Chains A and B, each alone.
Chain A
Amino acid sequence: MIIRKKYLFYVLAITSSFITAAVTGIDSFVGGQSAFKFDPWAFAFSLFFVGAIVTFLISLILSIKYKGKSVGAKILDPSFKQVRLVQKSEMKYHLVAGLMNAINTVGYCAIVSTVQDPSVILSFSQIVILYLLLMESITEKDVPTLVEIQSSIIVTFGAILASISLTGEFQWLPIIIVFLVVNPTWAVFSIYQRKLKIMRIRNKPNDSINIRLWNVVFSCIFTTVILFIFDIFTSGGHLIAAFTTSINPYYFLLLALTMGTTFFAYVLYIRSLGMGKASVNNALRASTIIFAIPFSIILLQLGVITDFSTDPVMLIIKVIGIVMIVMGIISFALTVVKAYIFVTVKTGRPLRETMQKLWNIRGVTHVTITTGKYDFVVKVSTRTLMKGYERIIKKIEEIDEVNKYRWASVLKDWEKI
């Protein structure tokens, strides 16, 4: 089936957000259990310990071949063939992403154990976009534009407003944890997961199922090490307590449910990370706040969270927050200019060197050496045409080997999924 690529990107990111909202609801319930309520360390370890087992089993099931393709390739990620070992080239990215996920999850568990309303927890996590924009300007081949910054600020303030009303409370400790622990680690984690997704393994695109599997395994190892060191210095027994709790059948099933559901949210998120920048992905994930509301209401009905305020002012603030989030996402989506540049080069110069020079230009997303009328077909992505001229065309003109080029703006495109 050939559909418009941006639709696939939005479907993946928003479906992932919906599942994440459900997971946060389940986590609130699990985190409220007596074994975890006052011990976020144990909660984090148990999540990864049971998560590694569950994720491995799901990945094995998805590796089963059906009509020449794995089940995982048919339903989740076309790049997936089967469970495989980590390649040497991936190792450093997995180590960083695993460590960040471990720290992030301890912070997250500390929050869900104290604040049980998912719509509050999720709202503040959306501020991660600001961290991502800053990091992307350093690590990626593109710097944020005014539109990206504006949209991110709109989404962020929307998220803050949307988080206040349901319980009518504003708790500072979880917010500090979000700002100092959860958001920075999530930003680094997202960037490294994206780097893994856009890598090519044995000359084929990397798949999100193996990325997720190994991330959980590395996160489990790091959580165990951190918890072990913590226990030694504090003479605590968190690690043993967490292990004992994890193998209790009741808790094992609860943890398996939350980590099994999380697996699908993450696989879709990692796949969408391969299609767009981490900041844009996280802007789309802000929709989680909207999806979290029905789950908050279910938790309210189940008695997991306290009554929320029906004060009209609070409700209006909540609606304004949601509108701002939606507007921010729309402005992100509508301001991308893509183009092909067909390039011919002077003879007698090595094509590989010219290719690298073209690739080093900010905004270039694909460079291909081709046979035929043109020597290179370059694909670029920019927020405005003016930026396309300033940052791309001027740089191409500076390359001595380039003989002639033609710019062709993309008006609309479709891609096979």
Chain B
Amino acid sequence: MISAYILITMQPGKSDKAIKEMRQIDNVAKISIIAGEYDIVVRAQVKNLEELLDVTDKLQMVEGVNKTTTQIIEKEISLQ
């Protein structure tokens, strides 16, 4: 299983509608609206890099998405 964070910058005023669309995308495990350099962080969980490409493709097609930056997780420690 491959996990990745996809950091997204949005056009102003498009976040609400975009989140609704993103929630329908397969392999999206978590979505957070954040304040700062990026507007949205999506956590994707996929079986292979091909599926990760599908997720980033679908995210880029969502209206209002300006740019995506993908951070593939190599190692993780977590409380939950």
Which residues of the other chain, A, contact B70 by a CB distance below 8 angstroms?
A: 372
Query: Could you give, for residues 389-415 of chain A, a 1 whenever the CB lies within 8 Å of some chain B CB and a 0 otherwise?
Result: 000000000000000001111111111
Asked whether B29 lies within 8 Å of A416 as measured between CB atoms, the reply is yes
Interface-forming stretch among A91-99, A231-239, A314-322, A361-369? A361-369
From 44 to 78 in chain B, residues with beta carbon under 8 angstroms from any chain A beta carbon are 69-78
Name the residue on B nearest A413 (C-beta).
Answer: B32
Interface string of B3-42 (1 = CB under 8 A from A): 1110100000000000100010000111111111110010
| Residues in B whose Cβ lies below 8 Å from that of A340 | 32, 34, 41
Q: A residues within 8 A CB of B32?
A: 338, 340, 410-414
Assembled-state Cα–Cα distance A367/B75 (Å): 8
Is A327 in the interface zone, CB < 8 Å from B? Answer: no
Assess the B71–A371 pair: CB atoms within 8 A: yes
Q: Report the minimal beta-carbon distance from B25 to chain A, rounded to whole angstroms.
A: 9
Question: Could you tell me which residues of chain A, from 14 to 67, have a CB within 8 Å of some CB in chain B?
Answer: none
Q: How far is the CB of B33 from chain A (nearest CB, A)?
A: 5
Among A348-372, those with CB < 8 Å from B are 351-352, 355, 359, 365-372
Which residues of B lie under 8 Å from residue A2 when comparing CB positions?
23, 28, 30-31
Q: Which of A406, A408, A414 is close to B30, meaning CB atoms less than 8 Å apart?
A: A414
Please report the total number of B residues contacting A with Cβ < 8 Å: 30
Q: Is the CB of B80 within 8 A of A408?
A: no
Task: Give min CB distance, B13 to chain A, whole Å.
Answer: 15
Do A408 and B35 touch across chains, with their CB atoms under 8 A apart?
yes
By the criterion CB–CB under 8 Å, are B36 and A141 in contact? no
Contact B77 A359 (CB under 8 A): yes
Cβ-defined contact, A409 with B36, below 8 A: yes
Interface size bracket, A side:
35 or more
Q: Smallest distance from the beta carbon of A195 to chain B beta carbons, Å?
A: 10
Query: Is A374 at the interface (CB under 8 A from chain B)?
Result: yes
Assuming the A-B contacts A198-B80, A274-B80, A275-B80, are A411 and B34 also in contact, with contact meaning beta carbons closer than 8 angstroms in the complex? yes
Is the Cβ of A414 less than 8 Å from the Cβ of B41?
no
Query: Is A377 on the interface with B (CB-CB < 8 A)?
Result: yes
Does A373 make an interface contact (CB < 8 A)? yes
Instruction: Write the chain B residue with the least CB distance to A200.
Output: B78
Give the chain A neighbours of B4 by CB distance below 8 A. 370
- Please state if B36 and A407 are interface contacts (CB–CB under 8 Å): yes
User: Are B33 and A406 touching (Cβ within 8 A)?
Assistant: no
* Chain B min CB distance to A417 (Å): 10
Q: Are A416 and B76 in contact (CB under 8 A)?
A: no
Query: Closest Cβ of chain B: how far from A17's Cβ, in Å?
Result: 21
Chain A nearest Cβ from B79, distance in angstroms: 5
Q: Could you pull out 8 A-B pairs where Cβ atoms are within 8 angstroms?
A: A355-B75, A368-B3, A370-B5, A371-B71, A372-B69, A374-B71, A406-B37, A413-B32
Task: With A367-B77, A377-B5, A408-B37 given, name 16 new contacts (CB 8 A).
Answer: A340-B32, A340-B34, A340-B41, A366-B76, A366-B79, A367-B76, A369-B73, A369-B76, A372-B71, A377-B71, A408-B35, A409-B36, A411-B35, A414-B32, A415-B30, A415-B31
